[in-house]
Each structure stands twice: as structure tokens, then as C-alpha cells.
Amino acid sequence: MEGIFTLVPLIVFLPVLGLLINIIFGGKMSEKAIGWLASAAAGATFVISVLLAYGLWSAHGEAVTVPFADWITIGNLHIPWTFRVDTLSVTMMLVVSGVGTLIHVYAIGYMHEDVRFKKDEKRYRRFFVFLNLFIAMMMILVSGDSYLMLFVGWEGVGLCSFLLIGFWYDMDTLGRPSWANSNAAKKAFITNRIGDFGFLLAGMTMFWAFGSVQFGEVFGLAEEIAAAQPGIIVAITLFMLIGVTGKSAQIPLYVWLPDAMAGPTPVSALIHAATMVTAGVYLIARSWPLYTLVPDAQYIVAMVGAVTALFAATIAVGQYDIKKVLAYSTISQLGFMVAAVGMGAFVAGMFHLVTHAFFKALLFLSAGSVILGLERGHHHLAHHNPLSAGAGGHEEHEEVFDPGDMRNMGGLRKRMPVTFWLYIIGTLALAGIFPFAGFWSKDEILLDAAKLHPEVFALLLTAAFFTAFYMGRQIWMVFFGEPRHEAAAHAEESPRVMTVPLMVLAGLSVLGGALNLPGVHTFGHWLEHTIEMVEHEAHLPAWLQISWGGLNPIVALASTVLALLAIYFSWLIYGRKPLAAGQKDPLKKPLGFIFTGMENKWFVDEGYWAVFVDRYVDIARFLADVVDWRFWHDWFHEKVIAGTYNWLSHIALNRYADQKGIDAFFNGLGELTKRASTSLRRLQNGFVRSYALAVLLGVVVILGYLVMR
């Protein structure tokens, strides 16, 4: 059984193999072959992950480290590339490769149409290369045995995120030529850099204090250091939190995630909902021995998560883009997870991470199916409408149509029944309706919050209410009522290659709760091998002490009732009287400026722009115009360096050294030759006899010399 763990490097190298084959031979392969090869690489990774999980299960959850290669050895610093197989990392591997495989398969169908609508079929292969690279990087992240290896993966997934957000880098989300998508990619990358800087500071502080970045050594020393210098652990955990806010899109660095929806929808599902953005949650869960030592830092993390959960949920209510709603929902749900792991409820947080991966991937992919359905309808219209199909009018008549705008949808439940039912399942799971997966995981978080921090509980409960509301709003707007656009009226259902992975995800969204049912707590016991849960048996009020095998009926009932209430409200507002084409949002009037705020993301982007970006541009402009151009270029280079050089060359070198020295020497040489020849030419008088005399004299002299010698 031990031998099974030596397979672990394959989880990184199988996707790498897949992407290499696609890079080298992909040019001659068909689209299907490329897609299925990439999916097979991801699928094989999943198989390996399952084997690892089985090996771990039969080894009773004992963590295993598999040394793979020496990476850095400088003096005493020794950082190997070691794989860590424990229940936490294997959970992440299963989620990443499992959901990842399904999304790969889905993308075979999705990208087939996407590259045709966007009119660049050559990018099909590139997409799968990036996707496989992402899986490899994510695996490095979750399987590393040190913070440095984790950071390698952390940066790697950031790169993949950048590449995939900017996948259609030369257009905007509607396919018009523009740099909007690549700006979104840059925004994501730069925002993440700020977070990564925090992570780097955490790593350096850790190395300074512990002399190591290996998980085992750091956690072993943690208590000792915490007793000696408690400030160090607080600093490390808070620096780490900055990294988490970047990668997991929490306040204040969440702003990149909504823009990241510029990427193709499978990317939004895989990277920006299910896996990469949960890396921050994983990081905190992984660092549990540090966080549990500093309750103050834990509280800050929990508050950041809870405030983000509510804040993002309110923005989601005012969004019109189907993917933007889901993006803010993702931020909100990540807030739930961060709050959970911040409070020390690691199992609840990780449980929500897993179920969220299922249902949010399902929702995103279904949204992708809806968008493509509308694209198909729009395309169908463009080619079959006799009025607009006039000669040469093919390009002009394509008025700007946003297939992601929910105001263009409506009534899709009849046109796309499969997607509709899948979307319903995802929505119910996200809203936390019994017995869907989200109910169990969200309920666990809420219960732990109620026990530990009532204010976090209040924030999260409100956020849960908003969650159900905006999801209800989305369902009514997208699938019910009458089509508000011709394209919606002609939308077509997606092919099987897309819907089958969705059905699997839907199944997981329904049954995912079974992982950690009250009374059984399979998942909790599984993670216990890695994370020691500290039981806080404080003085709890009586209603919180009720426990049905770990389930508190009052909290569960409260959250479910709130969710149902929210869905009922959403029906009152959006379902009972469906939106007509061109009608304003019915919430706009009663809520007034509050809705304007929600609609405009509370002007956070504008605020960041005014406070940071504009100032940054000002500084950059000052540096460029004044410091660089006027000072360095005009004054220093032109006056000082070039001036000195000119003076030297004109005056010193030219006038003195060159003219007076070198020129004079050679002119003198010429003058000498001239004078010598003037006097010598008199000898050459043309009289043969004088030459003969000279010869005779010469001979006499030579002979005289020879004789006299």
C-alpha cells in the first residue's frame, strides 16, 4: 500500500504531459482529439488522486511526505520539492482534478462554439494547453510540503488565471475589437501581485523567525515561538491574510474577480469559482497551527470573510450580467469559507469549499450554456432573417448584442429545459435549501459562527438571505416570463458533451452534503487526521446547545426559512410580474440610491481608481515628465554628460590634442619631406656626365672604404 504514494508526482506531471503533447502535436490533431487528450490528462490526475485517497484511507489517514527532488540548497537553507499527501491536500486534489476533469469535458463542447462565434479557431488548442497548465500548477500548490512550493503553485495559478482571463485578449466580452479583456487580465494579475506581496512578507518573516518554510518544521516550532514572540505569529498570519484577500477575492482586494469574468466561461467555473480562488481558504486551513495560536488574527480573518460575504452579496443583487451575479456570489461564498476557517471552523470551511466547488461550477457552466444558447439564437437569427440578410449587410446588421445580459433573456425554461433544471439544482444548493449540498456546509459554518462570534453569525445570516434573493432574481429573470430579445426566443439547448458534465455536477450538488452528514461526520473525521479541531465549549445559550448529531435545528431552520423567504420575495418582485423588454429593474424605484449603489458595485472600483490608480498615474507622470525627461534627459544627459563630452571633444581633444599635436606632427612630416625633396632635386640635373661622376665617386668611396678598412 505504501507504494501507492510514490505515484503522487504524477498529479503534476500528467497534466504537463498532456499540455506538451498538445503543444507539440496539437497542430495536426483535430479539435476533438485535442480536447479529449487534455480531458484525459485531467481525468488521469483524478484517478491518481482517488488512488492516493484510497491509500490514505487504508493507512488510517497518516500523512505521508514523498521527497521528489532537491530544489534549493544554499548553506543551511535546504528546500526540497517534497509532495505532501494528507487528508487536507488529497481533498483539494480530488476537488481540483474531479471538477477540473468535468470542466475540461464541458469545454470541449463550449470552446468548439466559442472559437467560432469569436472567429478565431486557432485558439482552441491554446485554451486546453492553458487549462492543463492550470491543473498542474494547482496540483503543485496543494501538494507542496513547504510554503515555498505552495507559493510556486500560487504564482503559477495566478499566471494561468491571467492567461485565461485575457484569452480573448484583443476584444471585449462582446467580441468587439478592444483591450477590455486584456485590461481585465492585467487588473487580476496586478491585484493579485499586491496579495502575493503579503504572502511573500509572511514567508520571509516565517523564514526569519523559524529558519524554515517546511510545514512540518514550522508547525513543530510554532508554539515555542508563539510563547517567546507572539507578535511574530500575528504578523505572519496577517501578512498571509493579505495574500488570501488577493487570491480568494476578499475585501479589499476582491475587485479583480468580477472583471475576471472576461475569460471564457469554463475558466470562470474552474479557476474563478471552484478551485484557484479557494487557494486562500486552503492556505489558512493548512496554516491552522499558526492561526489557532493567535485568536486576534483569527477574529480579523473571520470579520474580513463575513463582511466580504455580505458586501459582495448586496452587489450581486444589483447586477444584470449573468456571470457577474455569479462572480459576486463567488466572492460572497468565499467570504463564508474565509470566515469559517478564520474562526477555527476548518472542517466547515473546507466542507463548504468542496460543496461550493460542485454547485458553483455547475452554476457557471450552466450560465455558459445559457450564454451559448443565446449566441446560437442570435446567430440563427442573423442567418435566417430575410430582412437583415441583405447583400453585404452581414457585418453591419449585427447590432451590439450582449448574450450575458439577463435583461436580454427570459423564458428560457422552454427553450433550454436541461440547462433550466440544472440551474435550479445549482441555485437551490447555493441558496442552502434542504437537502442540497449547500445546506449542510453553509449550516455548519453558520452554527460555528453562532457559537464563536455572534457578529459574524449575523453578517453571514444576512448574506445568506441576500444569496437566496439574488439567485431567485436570476432564475426569474433568466428562465421565466417572456423572452425579452429575439435571440432568447430562438435560443437552443446545448449539446450532450456540455450537459453531461453538468449532470454529474448536479448530482454532486444534490448529494455532496452526504460527505459530512450530521451524526456521521465522515469529512470531519477524515480531516481530523490533519487538522486538530479545538472544541470551544464556552457558555453557550441553551438554544445553541441543542445538537442533533452536530446539527442545530434552530440555526438550520432559521437559515432555511430565511432562504425560502428571500426566494419568495424575489418571486414577488421578479417572478409574479416578469420584466418586460426595456423595463427598469423593479427594485430601482423603491430602493433609490441604495440600488444605484448595488448596481455600480458601491463605486469601489471608482474609489480605488481615484485613490490609488489616479495617484499612481500622477506619480508615474511626474516621474516620467519631470524626473526622467526634464531632469535626467534634458539636464543630466544633455547638459552634463553630452555637454562635457562636447567640450572635451571640441576644445580639449580637437583644438589641442588633435590640431596642435597630431596634425602638427604629420604636417611637419610632410613639410620635411617637401623641403628635403626641394633641395635634393637639384642633384637630378639631367646631365648624364654628372650622374657618371656621382657613380664614379661612389665607387671610389666604397672602394676606399674597403681598402682602408
Partner 1 sequence: MIPLDHYLLLSAILFTMGALGVLIRRNALIIFMSIELMLNSANLAFVAFARSFEKASGQPLFSGQLFVFFVIAVAAAEVAIGLALIVAIFRIKHNVDVDQMSSLKG
Residues 317-376, interacting with partner 1 (CB under 8 A): none
Q: Which is nearer to partner 1, 122 or 681 (CB)?
A: 681
- Kindly tell me which residue out of 75, 534, 537, 687 binds partner 1, with binding defined by CB under 8 A: 687
Neighbour-count burial of 433, counting CB atoms closer than 10 A to its CB (0-12 exposed, 13-18 middle, 19+ buried): middle
Cα separation, 38 vs 25, whole angstroms: 12
Q: Which is nearer to partner 1, 610 or 696 (CB)?
A: 696
Angle at which helix 496-511 crosses helix 346-384, to 10 degrees, equals: 150
Cα separation, 348 vs 336, whole angstroms: 10
Q: Which is nearer to partner 1, 620 or 703 (CB)?
A: 703
- Kindly tell me which residue out of 685, 706, 708, 709 binds partner 1, with binding defined by CB under 8 A: 685
- Kindly tell me which residue out of 538, 688, 706, 708 binds partner 1, with binding defined by CB under 8 A: 688
Q: How far is the CB of 688 from partner 1 (least distance, A)?
A: 5
Residues 463/310, Cβ–Cβ less than 8 Å: yes
The residue with cell 469569436 is 118
- Kindly tell me which residue out of 28, 396, 686, 708 binds partner 1, with binding defined by CB under 8 A: 686
The span of 37-45, 133-141, 423-431, 687-695 binding partner 1 (CB under 8 A) equals 687-695
Q: Which is nearer to partner 1, 76 or 679 (CB)?
A: 679
By CB under 8 A, tell whether 693 contacts partner 1.
yes
Q: How far is the CB of 689 from partner 1 (least distance, A)?
A: 6
CA dihedral for 177, 179, 184, 185, sign (positive or negative): positive
Q: How far is the CB of 666 from partner 1 (least distance, A)?
A: 25
Question: How long is the chain?
Answer: 709
Angle at which helix 417-431 crosses helix 346-384, to 10 degrees, equals: 150
Q: Which is nearer to partner 1, 387 or 688 (CB)?
A: 688
Q: How far is the CB of 684 from partner 1 (least distance, A)?
A: 4
Residues 170/179, Cβ–Cβ less than 8 Å: yes
CA dihedral for 589, 591, 597, 600, sign (positive or negative): negative
Q: Which of 373, 473, 501 shows the shortest CA–CA distance to 107?
A: 501
Q: How far is the CB of 695 from partner 1 (least distance, A)?
A: 10
Q: Which is nearer to partner 1, 627 or 692 (CB)?
A: 692
The residue with cell 417572456 is 482
Phi, psi at residue 87, to the nearest 5°? -65, -35
DSSP character for 66?
A: E
Q: Which is nearer to partner 1, 76 or 685 (CB)?
A: 685
By CB under 8 A, tell whether 689 contacts partner 1.
yes
Q: How far is the CB of 683 from partner 1 (least distance, A)?
A: 9
Q: Measured between alpha carbons, how far is residue 608 from residues 12, 187, 256, 309, 621 in Å?
A: 38, 12, 12, 20, 18
The span of 17-25, 33-41, 230-238, 681-689 binding partner 1 (CB under 8 A) equals 681-689
Contacts of 582 (CB under 8 A, 6+ apart): 484
The span of 48-56, 63-71, 182-190, 677-685 binding partner 1 (CB under 8 A) equals 677-685
Q: Which is nearer to partner 1, 580 or 696 (CB)?
A: 696
By CB under 8 A, tell whether 642 contacts partner 1.
no
Q: Which of 422, 257, 266, 425 shows the shortest CA–CA distance to 333?
A: 257
By CB under 8 A, tell whether 706 contacts partner 1.
no
Q: How far is the CB of 668 from partner 1 (least distance, A)?
A: 24
Contacts of 521 (CB under 8 A, 6+ apart): 347, 550
The span of 66-74, 217-225, 544-552, 690-698 binding partner 1 (CB under 8 A) equals 690-698
Q: Which is nearer to partner 1, 6 or 677 (CB)?
A: 677
Cα separation, 334 vs 353, whole angstroms: 8
| Residue 513 region by backbone torsions, left for phi larger than 0, else alpha for psi between -120 and 50, else beta | alpha
Contacts of 279 (CB under 8 A, 6+ apart): 138, 141, 142, 153, 154, 157, 247, 248
Q: How many CA atoms lie within 13 A of 555 on its CB side?
A: 30
Q: Which is nearer to partner 1, 622 or 691 (CB)?
A: 691
3-state secondary structure of 592: coil
3-state secondary structure of 541: coil
- Kindly tell me which residue out of 619, 648, 696, 701 binds partner 1, with binding defined by CB under 8 A: 696
**How is 430-472 classified by DSSP, letter by letter?**
HHT-TTSHHHHHHHHHHHHHHHH-HHHHHHHHHHHHHHHHHHH
The span of 29-37, 577-585, 629-637, 688-696 binding partner 1 (CB under 8 A) equals 688-696
By CB under 8 A, tell whether 681 contacts partner 1.
yes
- Size, binding site for partner 1 by CB under 8 A: 10
Q: Which is nearer to partner 1, 589 or 682 (CB)?
A: 682
Q: Which is nearer to partner 1, 76 or 678 (CB)?
A: 678
Q: Which is nearer to partner 1, 435 or 704 (CB)?
A: 704
By CB under 8 A, tell whether 684 contacts partner 1.
yes
The span of 78-86, 221-229, 336-344, 680-688 binding partner 1 (CB under 8 A) equals 680-688
Q: Which is nearer to partner 1, 557 or 692 (CB)?
A: 692
Residues 8/48, Cβ–Cβ less than 8 Å: yes
Contacts of 648 (CB under 8 A, 6+ apart): none
By CB under 8 A, tell whether 678 contacts partner 1.
no
Q: How far is the CB of 704 from partner 1 (least distance, A)?
A: 15
Q: How far is the CB of 674 from partner 1 (least distance, A)?
A: 14
Helix boundaries (H) for 29-122: 31-58, 87-117
Q: Which is nearer to partner 1, 665 or 687 (CB)?
A: 687
Q: How far is the CB of 686 from partner 1 (least distance, A)?
A: 3
The span of 299-307, 370-378, 484-492, 686-694 binding partner 1 (CB under 8 A) equals 686-694
Contacts of 151 (CB under 8 A, 6+ apart): 196, 199, 200, 203
Q: How far is the CB of 653 from partner 1 (least distance, A)?
A: 41
Residues 469-498, interacting with partner 1 (CB under 8 A): none
Return residues touching partner 1 (CB under 8 A).
681, 684-689, 692-693, 696
